[in-house]
Structure formats: C-alpha cells, structure tokens
Amino acid sequence: MTLKEFSRKLLAPWFWGNLVAMALVVSLITLGLWQGIAWYTHHGEEIEIPDIRNMSVDDASFALRHKGLVPVVADSGYNRKMRTGVILFQQPRPGMVVKTGREIYLTVNSTYSPTLTLPDIADNCDAREAEVKLVSMGFRLGPTEYVPGEKDWVLKVKCRGRVVYKGDKIPVEAPLILVVGNTDPEEDDIADDSAADAQHLDMIDTEDWEW
C-alpha cells in the first residue's frame, strides 16, 4: 500500500464514522456500568437506623421495613424486668447511617429464662472456691447456710428450698444457697473424746453396780 492510498483511507468518511461509533458505544457502556454500580451499591443514600429497642418484633420489623431496612432475628436473651418478645439489642446500633437493604440483627427477650448446668460442688471444694467458680459461670448466690460439719467445706447446694446436684439445670435468676460446715476439727476431736469418756464412765458405773 502506497502512502497516497493510506492517506486516502485515513481521511475517508467511513473510517472516522466507525471511530466515532466505537467511541460512542464505549462511552455508553461505561456510563451504564457506572449507573449500575451506583444503583447496586445505593451510592449517596443515607438511612438513619431507628431505635427499636423495647418494641415488639412485629412493630420493630414494620419500622425497619418502612425505612428500607431488613430485620433479622438473630438471637434471644432473657431480662426478667422486660416484657417477653420485645427487642433487647440491635446491631448495628441506633443512629448509625446505612444504605437501603442493610440487614439489622435483632436480639429478642425470651419467654423462658436460660439455665446453667450445676458443676460438681457439693463435698468437692471449700466455700471460697465454690463461690468463685459459680459466680464466674454466671450463677447467683444467696446467703450461705452454716451447719455442723467440716469447717468451710461445702456439704450441700440448695436452690429454691431443695437440694440440687451436679448436672441439674438451674435458672440463671434463681440464687444458689451453699450449705457449709462451721465446726473446727479440734472441736470435733474434743466432742469425740468427751463422748468416749462419758461412755467409758457409764461402763465403769455399770460394772461397779453389777459388782
């Protein structure tokens, strides 16, 4: 191809028409992609999350959907001071700004109180160790009950007036009562010796009487 022929083709109207058409197509595709991404990501939208705590699930769901948000019941908890079925927590928190379609995770107040499994406490540890272990697990403790027995040793565990044992399910709001011994070993020895002496004297008196 000669230079003259190349110049003639380069200056031909159909060549520039194709270039303009290609540029127009590329521009339209770019604009379409940009608009599509903006629509998909809700660019520029700002929705403030309402405070739906203490509301029922139905009312909370309505309030969220009205703003274009998606309610999701994700967990349950228990608060005996609040009505059952109301929202305890929400995530993200109230007042945050999000976009349309954002999921809002809800924690609902349960009808039943959760329970904890009682560990091996009775006749297995002293009072201090038992208190630390139970409190760390989430149990509530009531006043300690003292009875004759090895000092500071947990003899029994009570809940709501009855003895409970390892593996029992205890409601989290029910306090546990530790039944702890309050007798020193020396006092036990003295009491045993006194009883033995009394028994020995009784035997002597009986033998003298029979003699």
Q: Which residue has the tokens 């039943």?
A: 112
Whether the Cβ atoms of residue 57 and residue 14 lie closer than 8 Å to each other: no
The fold of 47-109 is Trypsin Inhibitor V; Chain A (3.30.10)
CA–CA distance, 64 with 190 (Å, rounded to integer): 74
Range 115-185: architecture per CATH: 2-Layer Sandwich (3.30)
pLDDT in tens, the chain (211 residues): 566 665 666 566 766 677 778 888 888 887 777 766 656 555 557 899 999 999 999 999 999 999 999 999 998 888 878 888 999 999 999 999 998 889 999 999 988 778 899 999 999 999 999 999 999 999 999 999 999 999 999 999 999 999 999 999 999 889 999 999 998 766 555 545 555 555 554 554 444 434 3
Backbone angles phi, psi at 10, to 5 degrees: -65, -35
CA–CA distance, 180 with 144 (Å, rounded to integer): 7
CA–CA distance, 133 with 52 (Å, rounded to integer): 36
All structural domains of the chain with their residue ranges: 13-40, 47-109, 115-185
pTM of the model: 0.49
> 47-109 with 115-185: one CATH topology?
yes
Distance of CA 11 to the CA centre of its chain: 75
CA–CA distance, 74 with 90 (Å, rounded to integer): 9
